C-alpha cells in the first residue's frame, strides 16, 4: 500500500493505527515513512521519494514503522517518539541513510 499525506505526523499516526488494527487481528505489517517530492500522474504517484520510501519499508522488521532522518526531524515537534536504527545503504540510492523506528504517540487526553 502506498499512501500520501500532507505531513509526516499524519502519516505516522495512520501507520500506527494500521499496526494496532493488524496486531489485534493477528497480522504483521512493515511500514516506511519518508518525506519528499512526488509527481502525480493521473492516480499514480511517482518519483525518487517513492523509491526511497519503499527502500525504507524494506528495512523494517515485522510490526516496525521505520522513518528517514528527515521524517524524524520534521515529526519530532509533534511529540512522537523514535529509536535510532543506525545507518543503512540502499540499492540504487546514493550514500547511507540514518533510520529510526517510530515507537510511540503522545498520550491523548479523552475529550
Mean pLDDT over all residues of the chain?
91
CA 29/CA 63 separation, integer angstroms: 5
CA 74/CA 96 separation, integer angstroms: 19
**Could you tell me the pLDDT band of residue 110, with boundaries at 50, 70 and 90?**
low
Interval 30-55 mean pLDDT: 94
CB 102 within 8 A of CB 60: no
Instruction: Give SS3 for 67.
Output: strand
For the full predicted model, state whether its pTM sits above 0.85: yes
Angle at 57 between CA 5 and CA 89, to 5 degrees: 120
Closest Cα partner for 34 from 80, 81, 66, 78? 66
- pLDDT tens, 94-104? 999 999 999 97
Amino acid at each position: 500500500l502506498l499512501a500520501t499525506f500532507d505531513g509526516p505526523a499524519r502519516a505516522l499516526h495512520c501507520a500506527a493505527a494500521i499496526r494496532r488494527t493488524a496486531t489485534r487481528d493477528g497480522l504483521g505489517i512493515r511500514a516506511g515513512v519518508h518525506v519528499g517530492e512526488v509527481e502525480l500522474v493521473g492516480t499514480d504517484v511517482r518519483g525518487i521519494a517513492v523509491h526511497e520510501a519503499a527502500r525504507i519499508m524494506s528495512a523494517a522488521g515485522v510490526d516496525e514503522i521505520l522513518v528517514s532522518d528527515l521524517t524524524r526531524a520534521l515529526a519530532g515537534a509533534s511529540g512522537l517518539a523514535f529509536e535510532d536504527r543506525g545507518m543503512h545503504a540502499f540499492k540504487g540510492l546514493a550514500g547511507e541513510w540514518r533510520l529510526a523506528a517510530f515507537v510511540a504517540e503522545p498520550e491523548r487526553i479523552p475529550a
